[in-house]
Structure 1
Amino acid sequence: MLRALICVGTLAVPLAAHALTGDELTKLCTRTDVASRAACKGYVQGVADGVYNTIDAIGGTTGPRVGQYFCLRAETKAESMIDAVRKYVADNPGAGKYNASTVISLGLGKAFPCKVGD
């Protein structure tokens, strides 16, 4: 277990220093090794949290607002988020060239749109 955490930590450092494109993120998320799956999950969840917290800081996330990209329920699984991002890139071929954080926000917005009362 400790060895796996060290491997994930080693992978996460280069990811933090380099902004991924949507295509690079998709490639990472299609790998099946434990370290790549963990890095993909961490990257997607980290961006989702960052976007959520940014919107919260500029006006709240208690309902649809201008600039609100997506609304995730507490029970939303990371795998569902990853699938949404991969689907967005597949359905929008040019999106793979965007920054990964943009692709994540757009993919989650398409799959998990805000509804009145969210």
Structure 2
Amino acid sequence: MLRALICVGTLALPLAAMAAPTTATLGGGKFTAGDLHKLCSQTDAISRAACVSYIRGAADGVFNTIDAIGGTTGPRVGQYFCLPDRIEPQRLVDAVRRYVADNPDAAGYNASTAVSLGLEKSFPCKGD
């Protein structure tokens, strides 16, 4: 199943890029939280795949950065979120969309920043 999702995501990304807003509509090339929220609000398969792929990629990037500066095996200084094992992608999307909707000022943030903050809000690390 995971291979099928990766394959679909890989094939869908080039199509999503063609359907994505132009740089002129993205404020000079900056992909904002508002842009991501609009993309994730779409119901077509290409937009949904692009939304999930972006959020998972941003989450992986944050995770890898934190790992490089001190680890992600538990709550640490700088740890933004702790995702449960085998989380369904829609839960990630819902967390980010809810964060942007609840924080209107966040619409102008870089999209990856909103991913980090949204996941932190919905999936905080527990413990000391």
TM-score (norm 2): 0.80
Equivalent of residue 117 in structure 2, options 74, 83, 106: 106
Equivalent of residue 60 in structure 1, options 48, 65, 71: 71
The whole-number CA distance in structure 1 between the counterparts of 2:36 and 2:125 is 24
The whole-number CA distance in structure 2 between the counterparts of 1:4 and 1:71 is 24
Letter in structure 2 aligned against 1:11: A
Shift of 1:75: 1.9
Equivalent of residue 88 in structure 2, options 72, 77, 94: 77
Letter in structure 2 aligned against 1:40: C
For the residue of structure 1 that corresponds to 2:117, the secondary structure is helix
Instruction: Show structure 1 runs of 5+ residues with no match.
Output: none
- Deviations for 1:17-38, whole angstroms, at most 9, x for unmatched residues? 9541000000000001111000
Counterpart residue number, 1:8: 13
Change (3 A) 1:5 1:83: same
Change (3 A) 1:92 1:10: same
Letter in structure 2 aligned against 1:37: R
Shift of 1:11: 2.2
For the residue of structure 2 that corresponds to 1:96, the secondary structure is helix
- Deviations for 1:5-54, whole angstroms, at most 9, x for unmatched residues? 64532324879x95410000000000011110000000000000110011
The whole-number CA distance in structure 1 between the counterparts of 2:66 and 2:43 is 33
The whole-number CA distance in structure 1 between the counterparts of 2:56 and 2:17 is 13
The whole-number CA distance in structure 2 between the counterparts of 1:12 and 1:77 is 24
The whole-number CA distance in structure 2 between the counterparts of 1:100 and 1:111 is 17
State the identity %.
56
Number of aligned residue pairs: give it: 115
Change (3 A) 1:55 1:87: same
Counterpart residue number, 1:49: 60
Instruction: Show structure 2 runs of 5+ residues with no match.
Output: 1-6, 24-28
